[in-house]
Structure 1
Amino acid sequence: MLQGATLAQAGIDAAALKPAEVDVERGADLAVDTLAVDYEGREHLPSPETLSSLADEKTVRVTTPVRADGFDPLGDRDLAESLPESVRRVLVAGHSAYLTEAEGERAVAPRLREAADRSHDPWVGTEGIERIALAVGGTQFELLGPATDRRLRALRGAGYEGEIALYAPTVLTDEEDAVLDALGEYAARRAPVRSALPDDAATDAAADGRAREVLSQAVRDYGLVGGAETVADRVDELREAGADRIVGYPARGLDPFL
């Protein structure tokens, strides 16, 4: 089993936790200084007491979709106001899977601006709203993808001096079947990958032929994959391109990181 120090050896300084998948309290044992708790619906939001306890050990951020009831700065914001003062926020437009139809129709820009004004040192998720996120400011929170290096260099070359945090699903192993089981489906949801895959192809370790070739490249385009040294080299490349912080999502759960 890989030890917790492996995270530091791989250059990863923050971990993304999905409360529907893991006990977020175990994040206190990870060898990182920052935890980012993803939003997977109101029913999975950790209690203020749990978040406060974690914040005693780590810097804790909670993803808050600004269009969702409970986090809407122009409407119902009871969940946002229940967050402990010690917990910081990652402001996002919100994934459609976790929004009602009415929530999904709400305007993003004014809500993101208002939420940023109400937050201390927010991270701002850029997925699908890159220009709005830049205009709002704060740490830009990007998803790793095949164009990430080029985009980071372009931002830095254009004079952007703000902080950039990069989210990357992470699998610290060279075993290809394990990698595909952990990240194949995630990568296959990306439009370029989906269009390159044969119809009805398996998207996990059962993939073969052309599908396996596509997925083996895609999981490395959209995730951090390999032993600690391999991942550390990739992290160095991303930092050289302009990333300040690397946020790893433990795609196989927390056990391999503890």
Structure 2
Amino acid sequence: MLQGATLARAGIDAAALKPAEVDVERAVDLGVERLAIDYEGREHLPSPETLAALADEQSVRLTTPVRADGFDPLGERDLAESLPESVRRILVAGHRAYLTETERERAVAPRLREAAARSRDPWVGTEGIERIALAVGGTQFELLGPGTDPRLRALRQAGYEGEVALYAPTVLTDEEDAVLDALGDYAARRGPVRSALPDGAATDAAADGRAREVLSQAVRDYGLVGDVETVAGRVDELRDAGADRIVGYPARGLDPFL
């Protein structure tokens, strides 16, 4: 079984947690300095007490969708105001799956600017709003993808000196069926991959033929995959390209890392 320190040996300095999937309180044993807790709806939001306890042990950031009631800096912001002082924020537009129809219609740019002004050292999620996020400033929080390396190099060559954090689903194994079961669906949701897959193809370990070939490449384009040495080498490449922090999402849950 892998040990928590394995994440650090792989060059991963933060762990992304989905509270609908895991008990976030177990993350204190992961052996990383930072935690990034995803927002998956108000019902899955850890309590202020839980967040404060985690922040006593590690640096904690919470994803806060600026269009969602409770985190809307131009409207209801009770959830934002209830956060412990020790918990920093990751500001995002918000995943449509966790927003109501009314929330989805709210303008992102003014809310992101206002939320950043109210936050200490925010990270700003770039997914779908890259130019707005860059204009707002703060650490740019990007998803790993096939264009990440050249995009980071171009950003640095253009003179950008701010921090960049990369979110990357992580599977520390080279057993292909386990990799596809953990990351196949995630990769298949990306537009280029979806277009390349045969209609109706399985997106997990059951994939075969052309679908398996496409997915085997895609999970490595959009995630960190392989043994510790392989992942550490890929992390080094990303840092050389311009990434400052690597945020690994344990795609098979916490148990393999505890």
How does the TM-score come out when normalised to structure 2?
Answer: 1.00
In structure 2, what is the equivalent of residue 77 of structure 1? 77
Q: Structure 1 residue 33 and structure 2 residue 33: aligned?
A: yes
Q: Secondary structure at the match of 2:213?
A: helix
Count of residues in Structure 1 that have an aligned counterpart in Structure 2: 258
Cα distance between partner residues in 1 of 2:223 and 2:143: 9
How far apart are the structure 1 equivalents of 2:107 and 2:120? 22
How far apart, in 2, do the equivalents of 1:197 and 1:157 lie?
Answer: 35
Give the letter aligned to residue 169 of structure 2.
P
In structure 2, how many angstroms separate the alpha carbons of the residues matched to 1:179 and 1:30?
Answer: 20
Q: Deviations over 1:106-149 (max 9, x none)?
A: 00000000000000000000000000000000000000000000
- Can you list the C-alpha shifts for 1:11-64, whole angstroms capped at 9, x where unaligned? 000000000000000111111100000000000000000000000000000000
SS of the residue 1:91 aligns to? strand
Specify the code of the residue in structure 2 equivalent to 1:76.
E
Asked if 1:205 is matched to 2:193, the reply is no
Question: Could you list the per-position Cα deviations for residues 181-210 of structure 1 after superposition, in whole angstroms to 9, with x for gaps in the alignment?
Answer: 000000000010000000000000000000
Does residue 47 (structure 1) correspond to residue 47 (structure 2)? The answer is yes
- 2:90 and 2:228 map into 1 onto residues whose CA distance is 27
Whole-angstrom distance in 2 between the partners of 1:244 and 1:128:
21
Read off the aligned partner of 2:170 and give its amino acid letter: T
What is the aligned partner in structure 2 of residue 224 from structure 1? 224
Amino acid at match of 2:54: L
Q: Which residue in the other structure is 2:10 paired with?
A: 10
**Where does residue 257 of structure 2 map in the other structure?**
257
Identity of aligned residues (%): 88
**Secondary structure at the counterpart of residue 216 of structure 1:** helix
Deviation of the 1:5 alpha carbon: 1.1
Using the alignment, how far apart are the partners of 1:31 and 1:140 within structure 2?
A: 24
Q: Secondary structure at the match of 2:61?
A: strand
Q: Which SS does the other structure have where 1:131 is aligned?
A: helix
Unpaired runs of 5+ residues, structure 1, are none
The answer to whether 1:137 aligns with 2:137 is yes
| Length-normalised TM-score, structure 1 | 1.00
RMSD, matched Cα: 0.3
- Could you say what secondary structure the match of 2:170 adopts? strand
